[in-house]
């Protein structure tokens, strides 16, 4: 085996790097400019026994020396334009000669294989030996059938060279012709580090140092409580690695998702409101919304089961002319019973199923009133006697209602209790319908009626007492009565017949001025028995109606005594408009947007 000398060349111009001499070009007497610079040799090196199949295109060939084997020694850091075939990875832990691509080292003077180049750029130190060996072993395994390790043809899109000679790129791919040439045995002794490499800190080259250090890329951040958990601990996040100057990581957050609000509120965590909302709040133009409540498709029985009685069947004759059945003369209608869709003789012509068929006014809107909190108004004209909306809620006993007032609704200004029947209360405070927003008036335009469902439970509905024009606030007479020794409440209905207190009975007109001194606007707790347009007590009528359940038609005395709605409501519900913190919090003010009709549809499904 003859000795071989390999030239390490230094190009003075970057453009020369691209012109890699071919055997033909180097042997030509009229050497082109690029090739002539190869002669400008700065170092000579002797390399080891690896046999090469193709002679290296070096200046030695022109001198007639036989090229047998190559041992590469990089001796200077100035060998920036080494011919690709002569390059060796500047990472002492790697020293590969056949990477898929070449990269500049950090100093920009030497070459690194693609993997080491990427690694050193990302981490700031050389790829450790174990990592290099592992990847080399992988390659070996892949190409174990072949004699030489063939570099993989990179499928990655190459970065376009931005000038004619491509000299600005620190990334250079290995030409496939050169890739097939040699397999070098590389040992530490074979390599003399370049100046640039040797000047690097110890820790960069000594993998044992790296092993002991905590590797930054191994530091993981676990989100143990969901995607948004980072929002709460953003200070702990590592600083981003920027190419140039290190930018301070912004502590600003993106707006929180709407569903995140519930979590923040229940956990009572602080959070910042968006600027526009805060500004609107400060200017007093932020539209207030009622506190959260859940819309329900039917009453919920908390302490007992729902009744399943046998329906009362009327004796109506189905209309032969295609008109509507169960009109004013229907026994069930007279008794405030709704007909059963299955059993009514009029079948689908029956007009006495308003609650069951949801024949109510759908164009209603919640409005804000000056002194009464929120209210409800109709957007369309309503005719007298029309069912406007059903008052739904949780059916609880009086005792439970008392307990709730002392606990759940303790700090609430408004109350949503309405008398159901036989010592039971309908609580619309947490779950109900928009009927819960209807305020009291001493001269109301609506009244409450209780109708019995075919299975025996009650429907409590708000009906129009007279024709109501569009955009009019709906009101009924609460007929307030004290509940558990609570304070009385001032009435702000503003009518000429106002009795001064919501608790006063009809005919008892109170003078508001002296009352204002003694009456607190604190939470109140009272049962009221709303009056029918005729002024009948609903309690009596409810009892009557229960007595009359056994009757399938007229009353025993033949009279048509209507079962008036007499309910008890105790305003205790929360008014979000009262608390500024509540008002400023849009997340808290989000009302369940599900329309009642959608709930009804769901129920029907």
Of 400, 492, 512, 552, the residue at the interface with ligand SAM (CB under 6 A) is 492
Beta-bridged to residue 397, according to DSSP, are 424
CB of 512 to ligand SAM, least distance (A): 11
CB of 368 to ligand SAM, least distance (A): 8
Q: Does 389 bind ligand SAM (CB under 6 A)?
A: no
Paired tokens of 173: 């791919």
**For ligand SAM, the closer CB: 20 or 491:** 491
Of 105, 126, 573, 583, the residue at the interface with ligand SAM (CB under 6 A) is 573
**For ligand SAM, the closer CB: 454 or 571:** 571
Paired tokens of 357: 């068929």
Q: Where are the beta strands (DSSP E) in 202-241?
A: none
Paired tokens of 564: 């008036």
**Residue list 411-470, contact with ligand SAM (CB under 6 A):** 413-416, 436-437, 439-440
Paired tokens of 442: 């001493």
What is the contact mask toward ligand SAM in residues 248 to 267, using x (rule: CB under 6 A)? --------------------
Question: How far apart are alpha carbons 423 and 203 in whole angstroms?
Answer: 83
Of 575, 587, 589, 596, the residue at the interface with ligand SAM (CB under 6 A) is 575
Paired tokens of 198: 């040797």
List of residues 6+ apart from 576 with CB closer than 8 A: 288, 289, 290, 291, 582, 583, 588, 589
Residue 300: strand, helix, or coil:
strand
**For ligand SAM, the closer CB: 102 or 374:** 374
Q: Are strands 394-397 and 424-427 parallel, antiparallel or unpaired?
A: antiparallel
**For ligand SAM, the closer CB: 210 or 300:** 300
Q: Does 167 bind ligand SAM (CB under 6 A)?
A: no
CB of 562 to ligand SAM, least distance (A): 24
CB of 444 to ligand SAM, least distance (A): 10
135 C-beta neighbours (distance < 10 Å), count = 16
Of 571, 585, 587, 589, the residue at the interface with ligand SAM (CB under 6 A) is 571
C-alpha dist (Å) from residue 53 to 68, 151, 183, 190, 505? 9, 16, 10, 21, 114
Q: Are strands 439-440 and 475-476 parallel, antiparallel or unpaired?
A: parallel
Question: How far apart are alpha carbons 4 and 23 in whole angstroms?
Answer: 16
CB of 405 to ligand SAM, least distance (A): 11
CB of 573 to ligand SAM, least distance (A): 5
Paired tokens of 439: 């305020």
Virtual torsion, Cα 9, 14, 15, 20, nearest 10 deg: 30
Question: How far apart are alpha carbons 146 and 299 in whole angstroms?
Answer: 80
165 C-beta neighbours (distance < 10 Å), count = 14
Question: How far apart are alpha carbons 82 and 190 in whole angstroms?
Answer: 18
DSSP H or E segment with residue 417: strand 417-419
Of 374, 391, 409, 476, the residue at the interface with ligand SAM (CB under 6 A) is 374
**Residue list 284-343, contact with ligand SAM (CB under 6 A):** 290
CB of 489 to ligand SAM, least distance (A): 6
What is the contact mask toward ligand SAM in residues 119 to 158, using x (rule: CB under 6 A)? ----------------------------------------
Paired tokens of 547: 């007595």
CB of 582 to ligand SAM, least distance (A): 12
CB of 240 to ligand SAM, least distance (A): 49
Q: Does 409 bind ligand SAM (CB under 6 A)?
A: no
Q: Does 60 bind ligand SAM (CB under 6 A)?
A: no
**For ligand SAM, the closer CB: 493 or 568:** 493
Give the range of 84-92, 356-364, 485-493, 589-597 binding ligand SAM by CB under 6 A.
485-493
DSSP H or E segment with residue 463: strand 458-464
| Rounded (5°) CA angle 489-444-411 | 30
Question: How far apart are alpha carbons 345 and 319 in whole angstroms?
Answer: 10
**For ligand SAM, the closer CB: 136 or 590:** 590
Of 71, 372, 392, 404, the residue at the interface with ligand SAM (CB under 6 A) is 372
Question: How far apart are alpha carbons 18 and 540 in whole angstroms?
Answer: 105
Task: Give the number of residues in contact with ligand SAM, rule: CB under 6 A.
Answer: 23
Give the range of 134-142, 257-265, 372-380, 447-455 binding ligand SAM by CB under 6 A.
372-380
Q: Does 536 bind ligand SAM (CB under 6 A)?
A: no
Question: How far apart are alpha carbons 470 and 419 in whole angstroms?
Answer: 29
DSSP state of 308: -
Query: Nearest residue by C-beta to ligand SAM?
Result: 571
> By the criterion CB under 6 A, which residues form the site for ligand SAM?
290, 371-375, 413-416, 436-437, 439-440, 489, 491-493, 502, 569, 571, 573, 575
């Amino acid at each position: 085996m003859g000795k071989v000398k390999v030239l390490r060349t230094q190009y003075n111009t970057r453009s020369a790097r691209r012109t890699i001499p071919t055997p033909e070009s180097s042997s030509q007497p009229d050497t082109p400019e690029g090739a002539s610079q190869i002669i400008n040799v700065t170092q000579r090196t002797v390399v080891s026994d690896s046999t090469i199949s193709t002679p290296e295109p070096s200046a030695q060939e022109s001198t007639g020396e036989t090229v047998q084997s190559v041992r590469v020694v990089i001796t200077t850091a100035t060998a920036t334009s080494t011919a690709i075939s002569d390059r060796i990875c500047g990472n002492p832990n790697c020293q590969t000669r056949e990477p898929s691509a070449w990269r500049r080292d950090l100093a920009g003077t030497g070459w690194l294989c693609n993997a080491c180049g990427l690694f050193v750029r990302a981490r700031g130190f050389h790829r450790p030996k174990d990592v290099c060996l592992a990847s080399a072993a992988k390659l070996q395994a892949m190409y174990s059938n072949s004699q030489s390790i063939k570099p993989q043809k990179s499928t990655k899109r190459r970065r376009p060279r931005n000038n004619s000679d491509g000299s600005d790129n620190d990334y250079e791919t290995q030409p496939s012709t050169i890739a097939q040439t040699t397999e070098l045995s590389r040992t530490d002794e074979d390599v003399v580090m370049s100046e640039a490499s040797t000047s690097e800190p110890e820790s960069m080259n000594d993998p044992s140092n790296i092993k002991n250090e905590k590797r930054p890329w191994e530091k993981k951040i676990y989100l143990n409580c969901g995607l948004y958990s980072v929002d709460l601990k953003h200070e702990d996040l590592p600083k981003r690695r920027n190419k140039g100057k290190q930018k301070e990581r912004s502590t600003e957050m993106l707006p929180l998702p709407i569903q995140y609000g519930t979590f923040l509120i229940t956990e009572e965590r602080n959070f910042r409101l968006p600027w526009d909302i805060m500004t609107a709040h400060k200017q007093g133009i932020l539209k207030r919304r009622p506190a959260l409540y859940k819309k329900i498709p039917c009453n919920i029985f908390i302490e007992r089961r729902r009744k399943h009685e046998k329906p009362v069947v009327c004796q109506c004759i189905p209309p032969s002319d295609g008109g509507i059945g169960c009109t004013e003369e229907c026994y069930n209608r007279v008794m405030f019973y709704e007909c059963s869709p299955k059993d009514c003789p009029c079948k689908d012509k029956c007009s006495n199923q308003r609650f069951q068929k949801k024949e109510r006014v759908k164009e209603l809107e919640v409005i804000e009133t000056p002194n009464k909190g929120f209210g409800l108004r109709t957007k369309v004209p309503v005719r007298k006697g029309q069912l406007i909306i059903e008052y739904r809620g949780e059916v609880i006993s009086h005792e439970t209602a008392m307990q709730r007032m002392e606990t759940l609704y303790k700090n609430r200004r408004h109350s949503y209790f309405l008398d159901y029947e036989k010592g039971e209360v309908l609580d619309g405070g947490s779950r109900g319908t928009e009927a819960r927003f209807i305020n009291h008036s001493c001269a109301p335009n609506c009244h409450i009626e209780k109708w019995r469902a075919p299975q025996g439970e009650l429907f409590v509905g708000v009906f129009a007492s007279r024709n109501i024009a569009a955009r009019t606030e709906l009101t009924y007479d609460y007929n307030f009565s004290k509940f558990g020794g609570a304070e009385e409440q001032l009435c702000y209905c503003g009518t000429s017949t106002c009795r001064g207190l919501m608790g006063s009975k009809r005919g008892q007109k109170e003078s508001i001025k002296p009352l204002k001194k003694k009456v607190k606007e604190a939470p109140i707790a009272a049962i009221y028995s709303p009056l029918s347009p005729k002024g009948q007590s609903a309690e009596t009528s409810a009892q009557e109606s229960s007595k009359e359940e056994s009757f399938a038609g007229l009353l025993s005395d033949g009279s048509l005594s209507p079962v008036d709605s007499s309910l008890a409501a105790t305003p205790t519900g929360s008014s979000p408009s009262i608390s500024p913190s509540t008002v400023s919090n849009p997340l808290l003010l989000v009302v369940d947007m599900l329309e009642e009709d959608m709930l009804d549809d769901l129920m029907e499904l």
